[in-house]
Chains A and B, each alone.
Chain A
Amino acid sequence: MFDTITEKKFLLTELVKQNLTSKYKDSVLGILWSFFNPLLTMLVFTAIFSMLFGHNIKNYPVYYLAGRLAFDFYNHGTKGAMNSIRKNANILKKIYVPKRMFTVSAVCYEFVNFLISFAILFGVMIITRAPFHPTLLFSIIPIVLLVVLVFGVGLILSVCNTYFTDIGYLYNVFTLVLLYASAMFYPIEIVPSQVQFIFTLNPVYCAMSCFRQCVYGAIPDITMILYLGTFAFTALGIGLLLFNIYEKKLALEL
């Protein structure tokens, strides 16, 4: 069972497809909500905060969206991975499927969503006449590192959440803190400079900030990239280790 890569790849695509179709299954607009959701919140945030921070931030809608997309991917990706084992308990208890397939597919699905929502960012950039800098190509670096980070954290959380249900509730609170600690909708400059250092310890802020730098025409900060990279690969290492140890025991905990 699942000895070849093609079998696994096929299962993975089927699982991602299932996620995509089930999310908006009863809504009229369906997948279009993947566009509308960030777009509408962008409008709200722009209406409220561009007055507050407008003079600090060049092109607030783009600033907000670039941050929002990166944060959403982290947020939904890790949460999706976290719940992936529990959500599929009745399958895992009845047929043999490598459990990692569900965790991996959850992250892949959120990554697809992330890529789809790029269309909004580009759309808004065109509408607001923001220039497309060639440095946009560099954004692939923070994005790849963010994917690694999400995989790592997701794997760790999926194991923990299977053993302890309340990890899920705890993590919801944690991501709320993370949201405010990532300078998603406000400029980092409003934070006292002593505290700014703490922000740079937050890998999600690093990813978001590097991504923004690319969008705004700058080369991403190399120290941030290195820090993010170290953090992400450490998380992935721990996640894989944990998953390899506990994968086979998970079915008994469901």
Chain B
Amino acid sequence: MGIMERIRKFIGGFSSDAYNKQIDDNVAVKVEHVSMEFKITKDRIDTLKEYVIRTLKRNKKEKEKIRVLNDISFNVYKGDKLGILGFNGAGKSTLLKILAGIYEPTYGKITINGKVAPLLELSAGFDKNYTGRNNIYLNGAFLSMEKKFLEEKFDEIVEFSELGDFINYPVKNYSSGMRAKLGFSIATMIEPDILIVDEILSVGDIKFRKKSSEKINELMAEGVTVLLVSHSINQIRKICDKCIWIDNGQIIMEGPSNEVCDAYVENAKGSTSKK
């Protein structure tokens, strides 16, 4: 690849093959043989000294790796509502992070067809010294929104977040609930094709919870593809029509949501009664 092309690619931004759009039009998310490995921290070489020493000792190989996801493949068609089940540490959140583009899978390929809105960490982009007002723009920018869009939606965001005059105070003076409410209000001001949700359906106090779950339901309207991770089986049964169950980084079961939920609950009961 020539330097000019590199530069063009650099300026033009994210256009890697992982996100190419030449796939079947009905598929929203295509996951092909995805595996994810993490290096174990204690064995990591992160100083130059260690790197040199280990190179000299010919002991550079970092042996210990954990495989969090192991050869996962599935398709999500447009308009599908897919629930992802699994016990803690099964690899659900890693899978969502890969789908959101935060991590690159070690092996395998992911193809995404449409505009993604990841509702993963809602207040990650906040600057604590910024006022709520400035944070709306900053966080919006992190979520790939445009300035014009944010200006239009500004009042709606403030109103939804119920912050009132607090919007002009620095976020460091907010309570965690207020922060979560603001984060939620910004992140949900979108009209996505694909919604990735990780356990955030309940934010804030009782008043806000009702409102936020209504908002989420609104976002999950007809036609929007949803990928939902939740430990609330009821929620999954209500929202999702399909389900996959992940354990130890592998798909154990895949199918209509009620069937998978039943099997999952059964399994959970079994393993607790054994103890």
Contacts and interface: CB of A to CB of B under 8 A. Distances in A.
A166 B51 CA distance: 11
Given A94-B102, A252-B103, A164 B146 contact: no
Contacts of B125: 91, 95
Interface string A118-147: 000000000000000000000000000000
Interface in A219-254: 236-237, 240-241, 243-244, 248-249, 251-253
Given A91-B125, A94-B102, A100 B144 contact: no
A7 B51 contact: no
Contacts of B142: 11, 91, 95, 97
A3 interface: yes
B101 A18 contact: no
A21 B130 contact: yes
B134 to A, nearest CB: 8
B6 interface: yes
A243 B11 CA distance: 12
A114 B241 CA distance: 57
B144 A21 contact: no
Given A251-B103, A252-B39, A90 B47 contact: no
Interface in B186-209: none
User: How many residues of A sit at the interface, in one of the four size bands?
Assistant: 35 or more
User: How many interface residues does chain B have, given as a range?
Assistant: 35 or more
A240 B3 contact: yes
A1 B124 contact: no
Nearest to A233: B3
B218 interface: no
Interface of B: 3, 6-7, 9-10, 13-14, 16, 38-39, 46-49, 51, 100-104, 115-116, 118, 120-121, 124-125, 127, 129-130, 137-138, 141-147
20 contacts: A1-B101, A1-B115, A1-B116, A3-B13, A6-B146, A7-B141, A11-B144, A14-B138, A18-B130, A93-B102, A95-B100, A95-B118, A96-B102, A97-B142, A163-B46, A164-B51, A166-B47, A240-B3, A243-B10, A248-B16
Given A7-B145, A95-B121, 17 more contacts: A1-B101, A7-B144, A11-B142, A18-B130, A21-B129, A21-B130, A90-B124, A91-B142, A94-B121, A96-B101, A96-B102, A97-B142, A164-B47, A166-B49, A170-B48, A248-B104, A252-B103
